[in-house]
Amino acid sequence: KAGVTQTPRYLIKTRGQQVTLSCSPISGHRSVSWYQQTPGQGLQFLFEYFSETQRNKGNFPGRFSGRQFSNSRSEMNVSTLELGDSALYLCASSSVPRYDTEAFFGQGTRLTVV
């Protein structure tokens, strides 16, 4: 069974640009969550999607957005990139959107903003 797939693995963008990251959950999983990982702030929750609906959102500015498609694949978008957006962006999928259901993480997308 294939795991969570995130593309691309690495990205370099210029300040002010926008970026879109993609996540394909484990087959059959319908809940997708996104996290930002930085050395300074650690792992922080961005948002959660289930059945194409955002169910929960973390404390991030509106420049961070996401969506989920009918096949459960998800994308997140960051507009007007800032240097501080450089991070590892992790996607996690779960079979159901319960708070105590195992979350399976992908390998992440390493975003560097220059």
Partner 1 sequence: GENVEQHPSTLSVQEGDSAVIKCTYSDSASNYFPWYKQELGKGPQLIIDIRSNVGEKKDQRIAVTLNKTAKHFSLHITETQPEDSAVYFCAASSGSARQLTFGSGTQLTVLP
3-class SS at 85?
A: helix
CA dist 27 and 1 (Å) reads 8
**Residue 33 or residue 68: which is nearer to partner 1 going by CB?**
33
Out of 14, 28, 96, 100, the only residue in the binding site for partner 1 (CB under 8 A) is 100
> Quick one: which of 2, 83, 99, 114 contacts partner 1 (CB under 8 A)?
99
- Determine which helix (DSSP H) or strand (DSSP E) holds 36, and give its type and residue range: strand 31-38
Chain residues binding partner 1 by CB under 8 A are 4, 33, 35, 42-45, 48, 55-56, 58, 90, 92, 97-100, 102-108
